[in-house]
Amino acid sequence: MKRLILTLCLCAALLASCSPVDLNAPIPAFDTGIDPNTWAQVPAGEFHHGQFDEIASTEAYEIMVTDVTAAQYADFLNTALADGSVKMDGEKIVGFYPGDKFHGIKHEEKIEAGDWLFIPLDDPSQRIKFDGSTFSVQSGYENHPMTNVTWFGAWGYCKYFETRLPTELEWEKAARGTDERPFPWGDEIQRGNANFYSSRDPFEDMSTFGSRTSPVGFYNGQTYDGFQTVDSASPYGLYDMAGNVWQWTGDVYEGMHYRFLRGGSKDTYDMDLRIWVRNNATPTYFSPGVGFRCVRD
């Protein structure tokens, strides 16, 4: 009987721990002091690329210090909807993409010129809201990274402001600098460095295995309600180049319709935040763990 009671208790505990996350529950509000409108300069030259430290090089460019925020994306949508650069398609926001050259490679899918999904509005974890005339951000998420955005939606935002998505090499150099470090801040990772699975940050609720994004620039050495962060900027002063959200990159590879993402996210393990780790998805993919930032020449 005691064994049966213990088993029932364990089952009840497991069921409770697996309860769904309330996506609209109130979240803490913190001002990180990091301005999402700032850019950092990355000089031309060589750097260590990949897990095995191959040498690569880039030209000089500038890159956003943080991911594009939900507030920035909402402002873009309001302006772009007004001038016709994006449009409503039911519960979707779509915009024009000129298409990719099709090479007929096995498993390659055609991406033709036309309107493609930028963001869905009916996804329960979408932080952008539309009242019929104006886009706004769910309260508390204004300074969080823009998520649930497709590659097309990231590409379209950057292009609208005459910028672009970073290449994989540009992204990696901005994250690493010129030495051989595996993480943007150095050689090791601890919970105060980034938002990743089981980082125990104020936006994570391990009782439900749920995690949410943290504000851009959150890991800057400040203490938030007792949670001490480590200043985890990259050598060029960029924040959240590891963890929080995967970041779309801009490469379109010959014979491949997939796009690549870098940086890991709130839902990945600590070792997946190493600079050389890659992820890929179709350009129509969106997720509450995917965002982006732009570069300019």
Residue 271 falls inside a structural domain? yes
pLDDT above 90 coverage of the chain, percent: 87
pLDDT at 42: 98
pLDDT reading at 121 higher than 70: yes
Residue 209 falls inside a structural domain? yes
pLDDT tens for residues 164-216?
A: 999 999 999 999 999 999 999 999 999 999 999 989 999 986 454 457 999 99
pLDDT tens for residues 221-280?
A: 999 999 999 999 999 999 999 999 999 999 999 999 999 999 999 999 999 999 999 999
Residue 260's DSSP bridge partners are 280
Residue 102 falls inside a structural domain? no
CATH number of the domain residue 165 falls in: 3.90.1580.10
Secondary structure (3-state) at 83: helix
Residue 121 falls inside a structural domain? no
Residue 26 falls inside a structural domain? no
Residue 24 falls inside a structural domain? no
Q: Average pLDDT, stretch 146-161?
A: 98
Q: Average pLDDT, stretch 4-9?
A: 40
pLDDT reading at 218 higher than 60: yes
Residue 139 falls inside a structural domain? no
What Cα–Cα distance (Å) separates residue 175 from each residue in 40, 43, 99, 248, 277?
Answer: 11, 13, 29, 14, 12
Residue 151 pLDDT grade (very low, low, confident, very high; cuts 50, 70, 90): very high
Q: Which residue has the higher pLDDT, 198 or 113?
A: 113
pLDDT at 204: 86
Look up residue 35 and give its amino acid. Answer: D
Q: Which residue range(s) make up the domain with 149? A: 43-68+145-296
pLDDT reading at 63 higher than 50: yes
Residue 101 falls inside a structural domain? no
pLDDT tens for residues 96-110?
A: 999 999 999 999 999
Q: Average pLDDT, stretch 56-82?
A: 98
Phi first, then psi: give them for residue 245, nearest 5 degrees: -140, 145
Residue 5 pLDDT grade (very low, low, confident, very high; cuts 50, 70, 90): very low
d(CA 64, CA 294) in angstroms, rounded, equals 6
What Cα–Cα distance (Å) separates residue 196 from each residue in 36, 125, 189, 213, 252?
Answer: 21, 18, 10, 9, 28
Mean pLDDT of the chain: 91
Q: How many domains are there within the chain?
A: 1
